[in-house]
Chain A
């Protein structure tokens, strides 16, 4: 039976009441007295020289306050990149400038050219249409391989080429891997595309800049997953505002999925303009604008080769990937195809030799950065597709081939520089087999056939590195930030607690699950704990929420701070009960002296801390408030096994997901209801990638999928009810909660099983030449593969 409160309980979310009654406070719900509105005039061509911008007529239009262009930002810093990758020859990546408003050239459809500030949103939009642009179109660079060919047009004239970096990992393994592949009994090769996606949180981005001349203080309200990171990047690198004069507030945020990690030009613009204009400035992004200004995700083209010996043991793996960076380097873009991708290429398998080559390429497209999973879905997809293809080529069962090559002993140091602390891949596969009813597949296949449909079953495993990340390690790898997390626990006199976290919740339910952790440690009701996040003015410096890190890193900081609280409270309790500190025990909110019937309640101790009449003032300070920063010792390694069953209509090529089962090992689970919800959402995004979603550009760099009319978001009738299981639990060995993180698993683990299932369906129907179809598996693509 699950617990009814604390760690392990499916506590209902306290956030829900405000969201269900229209009382959420999202950034667009915030209006500052006297605010003006900005509309960005964006490039409608992919690549052009700006010969002139005539704003005269527009500036004279009703309500226009001022029109800004790149010239107004010449003294302002470049939007910074937070990660420097070193290429395989030891040279730093090429890092172009990224101006707030375009200077000299536009480099993608959506690149902001001018910003019109007016009294109303409509007036700003109207005036933007009256700006006269003189753009000299240049050839657009869209295809990645063409972008790095000799003589290609350069996206950035001051760089030597469109190659951001050529990364090799582990470079010392290169020759040994080549040799192993040359001498292998069998080599399976696969070329594939990991399709470009748009994260599409339902809340579009919004930014409101405010400035007080009285105090010289800036406030930025923004839709961010990490307000402190925005404060640091924008304050230190772009606008030159010290942290104590810059407050960043990210209130209720309507989903992020990675694309709200990054520092964007619009945030810098409204902060800058509010001071220039002595007036608050608000920007609300439209959905169509989001498609051409939110950082995109994925967009890899990969060739992968898996070598096996005569006994079907994996002996070597070699990959070559082209990774699209877009026109500028978004905040964490360089890390995604490298350290979040190459390090995961061992997957769940004991392949002894691995070499990963990644060429990151600039193109005239929107910048590409982390999207749910970030690098790990790309690694999982290619690995789990090539393993499936190998099983088919060798005529062996794909599950058995996986099991044969599973890592079974932990800790396990992979040949790609990470050490898995714990795991049980047979455990999750066993859980999957029980849940997914593989035994009943043949009967379901017969039913599908009777309806004139094809049916297929696809299985895959995944591993991810979460709990991002040990600061010293990522510093060596090029991160320009630490990746610890913080918490301040403030106990009030009457015993209630306020916990201020540097993590950020934008749908994950932290206000509920974090309270469960702290309440459980003390043994009090969850409702006595309030969680505060999202405002740099009242939370300690934190790195925010992404990479399934909040519970593993932020939760651990909370545990450490609460431990300090408990240690101090025990001293106070010892004084009150005239006992030794070491004899005090805390259980169910009561302090007792071991071996006696003496006790004081939590509330008596907290009151004594703030009304210190009878208090050991000579030994400890009054008050009860502690802060902890937690820097993880390692990543965490959630893993699992997924199964998908599809039906394919042979007449149309339409794929329907009939069954989907996900068995995950997240280590310990704080709130199983929330964990399951995270998995469901990830699965829908992964299925969306596999079947529906594609961010497409034409050869001129026009964004073809620029709205919900063209970009196929998964709808309720595109997905089935999911079967999920997280009963296979190997707790993380290095964080105090034993948790691993669950936010990205569904999106990482699901695309390969969908594609494996469709290929299986086609193979079973006699289309034996179909070994791969690139995502998304639209009816047209599937039909073409069959015909």
Chain B
């Protein structure tokens, strides 16, 4: 067992981990931060995406020990300081970009990383960037819309409007 220390959403935490403890398990079991999800065991689904030192990382592909000393941001750290939804989170709600909510934390974290790299992506760029995030509920339609809207671009309303 080794001790790791990292800053999660601005708060310094430390804990004992095995060499094989994954970052996602440290977050979920070690820190009780269950917003980050595990949807697969082959690093395909992206439900566990967090930001490590500002970069989007699948937290199932990284050992907790590798994040020693890092700054980690999880879905729990994405809302505005007053607790209101951030622009991306609000766009997901406004455009119905989530259903069961299980892939959502990873989608929001990936979307945030995308918009940091590419503030006004095209639809094709959004879809390509989401290659590593699987959603089974939405058919991606409204996720793509939400991300485009969060980038300040015009998107179509729902068909009924």
Contact = CB atoms under 8 A, between A and B. Distances in A.
Interface of A: 2, 10, 12-13, 15-26, 28-29, 122, 200-204, 252-255, 257, 286-288, 506-509, 669, 672-674, 676-677, 680-685, 707-709, 713-717, 719, 721-726, 746
B99 A20 contact: no
Contacts of A724: 159
Contacts of A682: 139
A421 to B, nearest CB: 24
Nearest to A372: B136
Contact of B128 (A13, A717, A721): A717
A204 B44 CA distance: 14
A713 B45 CA distance: 9
B85 A21 contact: yes
Contacts, number: 199
Contact of B141 (A201, A255, A674, A722): A722
Interface size class of B (residues with CB under 8 A): 35 or more
Contact of B34 (A28, A200, A684, A709): A28
Contact of B140 (A13, A17, A200, A684): A684
Interface in B2-58: 18, 20, 28, 33-42, 44-45, 47
Nearest to B36: A22
Contacts of A287: 39-42, 45
Given A286-B41, A680-B138, A708-B44, A509 B99 contact: yes
B96 to A, nearest CB: 5
B134 interface: yes
Rank and list the top 7 A-B pairs by shortest CB-CB distance, nearest first.
A22-B35, A19-B101, A254-B102, A507-B100, A684-B139, A708-B44, A672-B160
Contacts of A719: 139-141
Contacts of B66: none
B105 interface: yes
A716 B144 contact: yes
B44 A16 contact: no
Q: Binding site of B, secondary structure by majority: helix, strand, loop or mixed?
A: loop
A15 B130 contact: no
A721 B138 CA distance: 11
B120 interface: no
9 contacts: A20-B78, A23-B35, A288-B41, A669-B160, A676-B96, A677-B137, A683-B139, A717-B130, A719-B140
Nearest to B160: A672
A254 B94 CA distance: 20
Contacts of A12: 93-94, 96
B105 A22 contact: yes
Nearest to A435: B159
B126 interface: yes
Contacts of A716: 126-128, 130-131, 133, 135, 140, 143-144
A724 B64 CA distance: 45
Given A202-B137, A680-B139, A681-B99, 15 more contacts: A19-B98, A20-B89, A20-B108, A21-B89, A23-B35, A24-B102, A201-B100, A202-B134, A203-B100, A288-B42, A677-B138, A707-B41, A708-B44, A715-B131, A725-B159
Contacts of B127: 715-717
A710 to B, nearest CB: 9
Nearest to A253: B100
Contacts of A2: 160-161
Contacts of B104: 19-20
Contact of A255 (B93, B100, B131, B143): B100
B72 interface: no
Contacts of B128: 716-717
A200 B28 CA distance: 22
Given A24-B101, A122-B18, A684-B140, A672 B37 contact: no
A726 B108 CA distance: 29
Contacts of B62: none
Contacts of A16: 92-93, 98, 101
B32 to A, nearest CB: 8
A184 B98 CA distance: 51
Contacts of B144: 716, 721
A202 B92 contact: no
Interface string B79-106: 1000001000100111010111111110
Given A122-B18, A677-B142, A716-B144, A202 B76 contact: no
Contacts of B101: 15-16, 18-20, 24, 252, 254, 507
A669 to B, nearest CB: 8
A680 B34 CA distance: 28
Contacts of A257: 136
Contacts of A722: 139, 141
B96 A681 contact: no
Nearest to B147: A716
A21 B100 contact: no
A713 B44 CA distance: 10
A758 to B, nearest CB: 20
B30 to A, nearest CB: 12
Contacts of A674: 96
Contact of B37 (A21, A203, A507): A203
Q: Which of B99, B123, B144 has the most CB of A within 10 A?
A: B99
